[in-house]
C-alpha cells in the first residue's frame, strides 16, 4: 500500500489530495499546523489505520526534521503542498516587510527542509516521488501584471530549489515534480478560480502517477494538463 506525506492537509488542495489518495487505497500522513482543529481532515479517517495526523508548521525550519523523527517507513510520495500568500507583500510600496521572510520560509525553504529530512525514506519507497506545489505565479516569463512580490519570489525560489533537488537526488532515482495546480477555487484561489479542488487534484494525481519510473519528468515545471511551463 503506497504511503504519502502531505503538508497543508487540513484544507484546500491538501485536504482534497488526502481525500482522493485515501479513496485510491493509499496510506496518508497528513501534516498540518493544528490537527486538533482539523475537523474536515479527521472526518476523512476510514478507521483502518491508513490516516495519521501530524503537527507541522512550515514557518518553523526545524519542523521537517522533527516530523521525520515521528514518521516511520518508506514514503512513496512526499507532497510539499502547504503554502501562503501574504496580503502585505502584494503591492509595490511596503512589500519588503517581515511577512515576506515568512512567505519565503513557508513557500520555498520549508519544502527544501522536507526534502532533506525525508530523502532517505522517499528513496526507500517504490514510487520515489517528491512533489512541490508551486504556482504559475512563480514563472518570471509569465509575469505580465507585476505585484505579488512575496508570493511570486517565493514560488520562483521554490522552482529553483526543485530543479536542484532533481539533479541532486537523481542518483537515488527520486523524481522531483514542480507543479502548478491551475487557478483553483480554494481559500487562497478565491471564488473566481477556474476549477474546483477535486478537478485540480484528480488531474495532479494522474500526472504524479505518470511520473513513476520516469526520470525524464524530474525537475520540470508542469501544469496539470502535463504541459511544461516556462520558468
Ligand X SMILES: NC(=O)c1ccc[n+]([C@@H]2O[C@H](COP(=O)([O-])OP(=O)(O)OC[C@H]3O[C@@H](n4cnc5c(N)ncnc54)[C@H](OP(=O)(O)O)[C@@H]3O)[C@@H](O)[C@H]2O)c1
Binding site for ligand X (CB under 6 A): 7-8, 10-14, 32-33, 56-59, 81-84, 106, 133, 135, 180-181, 183-184, 186-189, 193
**Between residues 1 and 192, which has the closer beta carbon with respect to ligand X?**
192
CA angle 61, 67, 71 (to 5 degrees): 160
Question: What minimum distance in Å lies between the beta carbon of 213 and ligand X?
Answer: 26
**Between residues 75 and 131, which has the closer beta carbon with respect to ligand X?**
131
> Cell numbers 502547504 correspond to what residue?
82
- Please give the Cα distance from 222 to 229 (Å, whole number): 6
**Between residues 101 and 123, which has the closer beta carbon with respect to ligand X?**
101
Question: What minimum distance in Å lies between the beta carbon of 223 and ligand X?
Answer: 10
- Please give the Cα distance from 53 to 95 (Å, whole number): 35
Strand partners, 220: 177
- Please give the Cα distance from 54 to 32 (Å, whole number): 6
Question: What minimum distance in Å lies between the beta carbon of 55 and ligand X?
Answer: 9
Question: What minimum distance in Å lies between the beta carbon of 183 and ligand X?
Answer: 4
* Strand pairing category for 27-32 and 129-133: unpaired
Amino acid at each position: 500500500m503506497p504511503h504519502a506525506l502531505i503538508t497543508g492537509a487540513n484544507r484546500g488542495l491538501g485536504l482534497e489530495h488526502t481525500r482522493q489518495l485515501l479513496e485510491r487505497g493509499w496510506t496518508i500522513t497528513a501534516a498540518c499546523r493544528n490537527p486538533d482543529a482539523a475537523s474536515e481532515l479527521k472526518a476523512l479517517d476510514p478507521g483502518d489505520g491508513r490516516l495519521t495526523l501530524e503537527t507541522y508548521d512550515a514557518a518553523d525550519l526545524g519542523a521537517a526534521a522533527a516530523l521525520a523523527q515521528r514518521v516511520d517507513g518508506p514514503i512513496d510520495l512526499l507532497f510539499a503542498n502547504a503554502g501562503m500568500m501574504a496580503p502585505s507583500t502584494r503591492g509595490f510600496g511596503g512589500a519588503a516587510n517581515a511577512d515576506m521572510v515568512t512567505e519565503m520560509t513557508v513557500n520555498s525553504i520549508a519544502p527544501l527542509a522536507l526534502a532533506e529530512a525525508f530523502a532517505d525514506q522517499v528513496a526507500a519507497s517504490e514510487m520515489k516521488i517528491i512533489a512541490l506545489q508551486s504556482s504559475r505565479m512563480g514563472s518570471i516569463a509569465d509575469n505580465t501584471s507585476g505585484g505579488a512580490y512575496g508570493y511570486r519570489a517565493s514560488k520562483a525560489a521554490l522552482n529553483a530549489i526543485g530543479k536542484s533537488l532533481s539533479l541532486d537526488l537523481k542518483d537515488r532515482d527520486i523524481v522531483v515534480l514542480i507543479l502548478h495546480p491551475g487557478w483553483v477555487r480554494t481559500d487562497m484561489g478565491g471564488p473566481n478560480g477556474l476549477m474546483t479542488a477535486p478537478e485540480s487534484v484528480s488531474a495532479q494525481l494522474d500526472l504524479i502517477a505518470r511520473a513513476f519510473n520516469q526520470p525524464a519528468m524530474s525537475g520540470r515545471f508542469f501544469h496539470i494538463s502535463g504541459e511544461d511551463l516556462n520558468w
